[in-house]
Amino acid sequence: MTFVVTDSCIKCKYTDCVEVCPVDCFHEGPNFLVIDPEECIDCTLCEPECPVEAIYADDEIPEGQEEYLDLNARLAQQWPVITEKKDAPPDAADWDDKPNKRALLEE
């Protein structure tokens, strides 16, 4: 099993989760984070750290967001690893509770 970053992270990109990851499996894109499924050890430490509840176990991904499993795996191969918390984008709070943000993902 692995953990997956889903739709809620897009344009929020809070990085609280990356500091607790013992294996540095988070990767950072322009407006989204992903988890490398090859590196994730299923420790569960990141899930409660996400303030927008964007991280799920791969067998608990919300209905309609299953594509994020493959998206995380693909983008983790392209984006650099992130290991330290950064400031969230200035407008992150404006995006916290917005649904269906997939079209806004910058790859």
> How many residues make up the chain in this entry?
107
Residue numbers of the domain that contains 70? 3-81
Q: Has residue 76 got a pLDDT over 90?
A: yes
Number of domains present in the structure of the chain: 1
Q: Distance (Å, rounded) from C-alpha 43 to C-alpha 51?
A: 18
Three-class secondary structure of residue 79 per DSSP: coil
Mean of pLDDT values over 7-21: 96
Looking at residue 51, which CATH number applies to its domain? 3.30.70.20
Closest CA to 35 of 74, 89, 8, 92: 74
| Tokens, residue 29 | 């894109």
> pTM, whole model, 2 decimals?
0.96
